[in-house]
Amino acid sequence: MNVLDVENLTVEFPTRRGVLRALDHVSFSIAPGEVLGVVGESGAGKSLTGAAIIGLLEPPGRIGGGQVLLQGHRIDDLPYEKMRRIRGKQIGAIFQDPLTTLNPLYSVGRQLIETMQTHLPLSNADARLRAVRWLEDVGIPAAKQRIDAYPHEFSGGMRQRVVIALALCAEPRLVIADEPTTALDVSIQAQVIALLRRLTQERGLSVMLITHDMGVIAEAADRIAVMYAGRVVEIGGVAEVVRHPSHPYTVGLMGSIPVLDARVERLRQIEGAMPRLNAMPPGCPFNPRCPRTFDRCRDERPELMPARQTAAACWLYA
Amino acid sequence: MFAFIVSRVLQAVPVVLVVGLIAYAMFAFVGDPVTIMLGTDYTEAQRVALVKQLGLDQPFFVQYAKFMWAALHGEFGISYRLARPVTDLLAERMPATLELALTASVFALLIGVPMGVYTGIYRTAFSSRVFMIFSLIGVSLPTFLIGILLILVFSVWLQVLPSFGRGDVVRFPHWSTGFLTTGGLKALILPAVTLGLFQMTLIMRLVRAEMLEVLRSDYIKFARARGLGTRAINFGHALRNTLVPVITIAGLQIGGIIAFSIVTETVFQWPGMGLLFVQSVQVADVPVMAAYLVMISVLFVLINLVVDLLYYAVDPRLRVVR
């Protein structure tokens, strides 16, 4: 059984000028121990998908349709208090900026202990012991002394390690990592990804890794979902999507990654910009920017369909 | 820690000296106490004698230095108006003002902070909007008007609370209190509400604004994502992060409550230091006015010291290694 199944998930924002659909029938699943990379440009709906899964959409955003299943049980319609017990305990979350995700007024130890004791029946002494072990496990040197240090006494990379410990300390089955390395130094990024990969593999955790860094995805993910304008436009194994992309958007995305040893005049890019939510074109949302648009793209919306080695939402493969 | 307190106290010395100077200068040059004390019928010899007796014939800075030196020893001179030591006058009046200010501050904080938290968390609820509208009245109506309206409603129409004075007071050697009798407590209600209402609504609006800001922050989202309980998030994580600015403003406001209880004390004829100050202004009673201002400046310095220490307790980032 899959750890996570997202089926036709739709997220809407009611506004004065009508309802905007920010996620449109998004579907994917994550198997036990699998790392699913979710890529796409800013505003494609990657983070929103993560927020919708853990039930923390910012009002007025709301789930307008579809469902989210965690190990076969529906969780998108749970009342707040039940969902709260799932957050942290069954789904851990890692956020982008470690400088702002830790409460500045509490020591890292206190934050770890508080999180563990919320979900696990632990005495204060046991929780503290475990907190030290977690800090050691995520590679904080001198964890015994550092447990009472405050977030501002750690560097950015160290803080993200603490955030990872906080996300994993109540032993969830699934981790949603929303751009976990974007705010970090390049040299630190690789370390943090390696750490995340090691910890999740050791425990057999599933990961939804949201990023726009293709390098991170290629290194860490088993499968990739490519999102565009609130939809999944292509999904497949990491090697297949990176080397043999089917959807013209994915092709453009992969083509725009600069290659170090080739000298070029201009970096390649996809012309135009992603459509705004209130000006979504009919048919395929990528059709105004697509180099291979034809009539059907402007009239009918494509669903995910088998396309060579992956699945793509594109009429070229109908 | 100790060094921090000492350095703060040392920094306060020039502040108090300057406030004393300004107070003394201001009052020494406005109004002439001699003519007021002598009335309309006096001889030149009587005037000169009185000027000499009050020390007003000496250069200004000598007068100021004498004043501050005596003040250092707890002597603020003799009131021109009442011909009694200023220290005794202030000591007599202080309990009334401090009890009033304490009650008003407790009222402002105990109601302002929870209401700020409530309106911050349930910002779209109907009750929150009602509170916000009422708080507008609190911040915009002048104190004397609120006092008069309260007197009209509770003393004149409903006749449940006294409109002036301290009521029954229990006297101790150095203190007199209205906290121990029903009459004293009843008399305290209207002035305390009048005095604290502005501060209460200000603190409420401040806490609300800070809560709205903090509740949007990443660490609150992360706390939610870790499944922490609502109470732990709202009070443990959010409220504590709003405290630094709230402590700053609350500290200044409490200083203000004590210093500027003048209006409220006048409206309610409350026998405190504010009323003494107003009566002294009318006859240019320089020693009383100067002493009052120096005392208030010391009070502000003390409050600021406490505020600094509270920052230190609340926010680990401010615990700079010195």
Mean pLDDT of A20-40: 92
Contact criterion met (CB below 8 Å) for A174 and A208: yes
Of A37, A38, A78, nearest to A54 by C-alpha is A78
Q: Hey, are the CB atoms on A56 and B225 less than 8 Å from each other?
A: yes
Of B192, B179, B210, nearest to B108 by C-alpha is B192
pLDDT over 70 percentage in chain B: 98
Q: What is the ipTM of this complex?
A: 0.90
Q: Does A105 touch chain B (CB under 8 A)?
A: yes
| Structure-model confidence comparison of residues A218 and A29, the more confident one | A29
Mean pLDDT of B146-162: 88
Alpha-carbon distance of A138 to A160, in angstroms, equals 9
User: Hey, what CATH topology would domain B86-282 get?
Assistant: MetI-like fold (1.10.3720)
Beta bridge partners of A235: A225, A311
Beta bridge partners of A26: A9
Q: Give B172-193 pLDDT, tens digit per residue.
A: 877 888 888 888 888 888 999 9
Which of A128-132, B50-54, B199-203, B265-269 is predicted least confidently? B50-54
Residue-level pLDDT at A66? 92
Residue B39 above 80 pLDDT? no
Of A4, A195, A16, A185, nearest to A90 by C-alpha is A4
Instruction: Determine if the peptide bond prior to A60 is cis (ω within 30°).
Output: yes
Nearest CA in chain A to B239: A105
Residue A144 above 70 pLDDT? yes
Mean pLDDT of B57-61: 81
Who's near A289: CB < 8 A, 6+ residues apart? Answer: A249, A252, A270, A271, A272, A273
SS3 call for A142: coil
Q: Hey, are the CB atoms on A103 and B237 less than 8 Å from each other?
A: yes
Number of Cβ within 10 Å of residue B66's Cβ equals 14
Minimal Cβ distance to A100: which of B218, B223, B236: B218
Q: Give A77-123 pLDDT, tens digit per residue.
A: 999 999 999 999 999 999 888 889 999 999 999 999 999 999 999 99
CA distances to A97, A117, B38, B77 from B51, in Å: 72, 76, 11, 15
Which run of H or E residues covers position A6?
strand A4-15
Q: Does A119 touch chain B (CB under 8 A)?
A: yes
SS3 call for A38: strand
Of A278, A258, A276, nearest to A268 by C-alpha is A258
| Residue B320 banded pLDDT, cuts 50, 70, 90 | low
SS3 call for A93: strand
> What is the pairing mode between strands A223-228 and A18-30?
unpaired
Which chain B residues are Cβ-neighbours of A150 within 8 angstroms?
A: 316-317
Of B1, B17, B7, B6, nearest to B298 by C-alpha is B17
Residue B58 above 50 pLDDT? yes
Residue-level pLDDT at B321? 55
Number of Cβ within 10 Å of residue A110's Cβ equals 17
Domain boundaries, chain B: 86-282
Minimal Cβ distance to B226: which of A105, A106, A115: A115
